[in-house]
A and B are shown apart, each in its own frame.
Chain A
Amino acid sequence: DTGVSQNPRHKITKRGQNVTFRCDPISEHNRLYWYRQTLGQGPEFLTYFQNEAQLEKSRLLSDRFSAERPKGSFSTLEIQRTEQGDSAMYLCASTAKATGELFFGEGSRLTVL
């Protein structure tokens, strides 16, 4: 296993379209996190899963955003009716321990035109 994998790496879409990102965590990690990072800012927490259960969602996650982790392995983050303000890097991370460091993927960059 080579680490956290995210795809697509880049997505350009028109405003109003739906987009979906996928994250494959490190295989033995039961916790999976989604963060968003805009230019010049640090990563901002969106949501996280322990196995298939979504345990916390940020206020940043409007009702246009939905995340799933159906079998406790890979996760998807869907954004419906995209807006220009959704343009950002979407980062996925995983960890095996609640207090451990997060291992991040390379991110999925979204550009909404």
Chain B
Amino acid sequence: AQKVTQAQTEISVVEKEDVTLDCVYETRDTTYYLFWYKQPPSGELVFLIRRNSFDEQNEISGRYSWNFQKSTSSFNFTITASQVVDSAVYFCALRSNTDKLIFGTGTRLQVFP
């Protein structure tokens, strides 16, 4: 079975705080891809990152960073020095032996000024 769990339903922080969004996945496949998407209030899903199962290097892109750990089946997302514009719903997704993305239920992040 393939599954993505985002246990944090909603997180609220004050601007400039760091925040980590958790993602735990399940798959029996050895080759798979993990994704993060952002869904702002406008509704359109915006692609943030794609990672394949053979590359466990952490990645940093500006204020965003991702920690991929196969040992714990986790692919966590950290926003450093959060800003109000980061307020959105964030989805983690998995693609393994099928051609479709399986999404988690999302984490709503609210950043207050």
Q: Is A91 an interface residue (CB 8 A)?
A: yes
Complex interface: chain B residues within 8 A of A100 (CB):
50
Q: Say whether, besides A42-B91, A56-B99, A98-B99, A91 and B105 are in contact (CB < 8 Å).
A: no
Within 8 A of A (CB), among B78-95: 91, 93, 95
Q: Tell me the count of chain B residues lying within 8 A, CB to CB, of chain A.
A: 24
Q: When the two chains form their complex, are residues B42 and A101 in contact, meaning their CB atoms are under 8 A apart?
A: no
Chain A positions within 8 Å of B99 at CB level: 31, 48, 50, 55-56, 98
Using A100-B50, A101-B35, A101-B50 as known contacts, say yes or no to A107 and B44 having CB atoms under 8 A apart.
Answer: yes
Q: Which of A42, A98, A105 contacts B106 (CB 8 A)?
A: A42
Interface centre among A33, A91, A99 (most CB of B within 10 A): A99
> What are 5 sample pairs from A and B whose C-beta atoms fall under 8 A apart?
A43-B91, A91-B45, A101-B47, A105-B44, A107-B43
